[in-house]
Each structure stands twice: as C-alpha cells, then as structure tokens.
Structure 1
C-alpha cells in the first residue's frame, strides 16, 4: 500500500490533499480526498475513487458529482516510431478528448490534443538539448496563438521552468524538486503582463510519499 500527502498554499488560500493506493495484482485501487472531505466533519466532498491498470486504462469516479471519467492508453508504431495515444471521456459534461504523442527519439517528440466535436486542438513540439534543457513551443488552433516554455534541470533533482502564453500575456516561473528521499515541492509565480497592477500570484506545493 502506498500513500501520499500534498499541501498547497496560494496567496489567497491554502489546501491539502491525500491519496491512498493499493495494488491488487496488475490493478491498482486508488482513493483521494481533499481537505473539503474532513474540514467540516466526514463527508463526500472532494472524494474520488479510481481503478487503474498502469499504461492501459483508468476509471475515475467523482463521488460528490457522481461523475465517471474513462481513460484508455495504447501505443502503436508509425514508421517504426512509437505513437502513444490516450482517449479520455467524461460522462458528466459529455466531453471526449484524444491525446497523441509521436516520439522520434529521446530528444524529439510531437504531441497533439483534440477535443472531439470542437475546434479545440493544440500542437506541441518538445526538444531536449543535452538531456538538461527542454524547449516546448506549442500552438493553439482555437485561439490562433503560440505558447512557449523552457525548462532546465540542475543539481539532478531540481528543475527551473519559464512559460509564456501569448493569448493571455501570462508569464509563469516555476522551481520544482522531485526527490525520493526528501519528497517533492513546487514553487511557482504567475504574472499577467496585461494587468496594470502586475501583481504576481504565488503558489507553493509540497508532497510526501509513504510505504504502508
């Protein structure tokens, strides 16, 4: 049995979440809850249950909303290159999306996301330079705009990332660490350059994993 706990703090609020997962052969059973589940006494708010087979399928059930979400994964080969496909359907809002990632080699891949029945389609190219620096330009067809992101791995576990959305003029900076020994954290700041006040929004997250 594995458990994880995540705490999140924003400039205007704080929140926490916990997840417990149990392996049953090839199947994993998972339950997650937020602080809304216990802050006002035991209730079903923020509670979600899931059954998953890693790499094949995930079935999520949002208890308070009584909503199922189905996710199926598969990999096919195109010209000897792996194409990773993910199909997602949410019954509550009747929303279906398809993700695809074509991996050319360890440094180059192209991914696309499309919401079926809409003009919402995003295309992203990822290039990893020297195994440390990642460039990610992407294009949103529905907004007719480009987004850009660059990240750099330092000291093994630390990653610094900067992203800019041209449609909203939103600039984001992030520092994250994922360590098996010391847990993980993420500190991020976002700033809307179109806002006259130009007040950044700060967010801090920390997570711990436990073997039970």
Structure 2
C-alpha cells in the first residue's frame, strides 16, 4: 500500500508546503519527502530527502542537496518492570548526537529526558495525563536554567486546545489542533512575547491531507 501526505503551512506572509510518499517493502517503509522548493523552481533536488524505516527500530534519512545522512535508532528496555523508550539520533554533517529517553511510570505519569551529547543542552520533562482529557507538562531546560510549561485539554472529541509558556523568553502561546484519520489534521497557533513593549501576536497555521492508494 502506498500512502501520500501533503502539508501546507502559513507563517505570517510566508507559505510553505511539504509532501511525502511512502510505501511498504516487507518490514521496511520507504519514504520520499519533498518541499515546495523541490517543484517551484524545478523540478530540482532542493528540499528532497529519502528515508528507509523499520518502525520501532531505526530510520535512515538522506538529505539529497546537503548530502547529509541522519541516523535514528529506537529501543525499549524495562526498569523495575517499567518501559524505558530510548532514541539515538545522529546527524553526520552537523556531527550532532541527541539521546532521548522516556520512562512510563504508569498510564498517567511519564518522565522524559532529551540531551545533546557533548553540550549542556539537556531538558527534563514530566508529563501528567488526567485520563484522556487533560495533560500537564512542566519542563526544565538546564542550558537556559529555566522552566517551560504546557497545559492541554481535549474538547469536542478530536480537538485539542494547548497553552504554553517559556519563562526564559516570556513567550506565551496558544494552539488549537485536530487530528482525524479520515479528514487529515490542522493546527492553528498564536504566540506573543510578553517581554516586548509592543505585544504583536504571531499567527501560524498548518494543515495535512493524507491519501492511501
């Protein structure tokens, strides 16, 4: 089966688009990703990347114009009978390695760590889910020595309203999103920097259409 998706994004006075085509080859999934830069001035290789994925195990992605390879490996181990999901990401061109781990304490509580190897960029996040209705996520950024907070609540079935606040930049954000297998998904975001004298809201919107062939 072949799956295609198209994502459009509007950010102020700028619009962008991303498309992907994926199909299964046994246990593997092959995927091609293109941006609007691939087609508008072309066709060209700008914005084109190719990926091979074994879901739950690894992803190898090749960025054609940058000639960059990105490796991602996933694994799950158990600590005190609790599942610990580990992800290792390495980008060859940037020589950047990220290790991400999340420990599911119980259905309502999860602890996550994201660390860039060789730097002090490390984030520790706690997630509390109140049933399937609301989620509260405080996150501590060691590099900025600051807290980030987010609260989300499900409304009207598939709709989710989310509020975020970054204490280091004093950035307040609101997001409304909907995910549907039949009609695709969309997200509308508004943010404002409370530290600025003129508090001008920034609006972004994106939508995704999925198609199975």
Is TM > 0.5 for Structure 1 vs Structure 2?
Answer: yes
Paired residue secondary structure (1:137)? strand
Q: Deviations over 1:143-162 (max 9, x none)?
A: 10000000001121100000
Number of aligned residues: 212
What's the TM-score, normalizing by structure 1?
Answer: 0.99
Say yes or no: does 1:170 pair with 2:171.
Answer: yes
Q: Deviations over 1:28-65 (max 9, x none)?
A: 00001010001112101111110000100000111111
| Whole-angstrom CA distance in 2 between matches of 1:207 and 1:86 | 26
| Whole-angstrom CA distance in 2 between matches of 1:155 and 1:60 | 37
How big is the alpha-carbon RMSD for the aligned residues of Structure 1 and Structure 2?
0.7
Match of 2:58 in 1: 57
Shift of 1:12: 2.2
Paired residue secondary structure (2:37)? helix
| Whole-angstrom CA distance in 2 between matches of 1:168 and 1:144 | 12
| Whole-angstrom CA distance in 1 between matches of 2:39 and 2:20 | 14
Deviation >2 Å, runs of 4+: none
Shift of 1:105: 1.0
Q: Deviations over 1:76-125 (max 9, x none)?
A: 00000000000000000100010000001111000000111111110000
Q: Which runs of 5+ in 1 are unaligned?
A: none
Match of 1:158 in 2: 159
Q: Deviations over 1:155-201 (max 9, x none)?
A: 21100000000001111110000011221100001111111111111
What's the TM-score, normalizing by structure 2?
Answer: 0.98
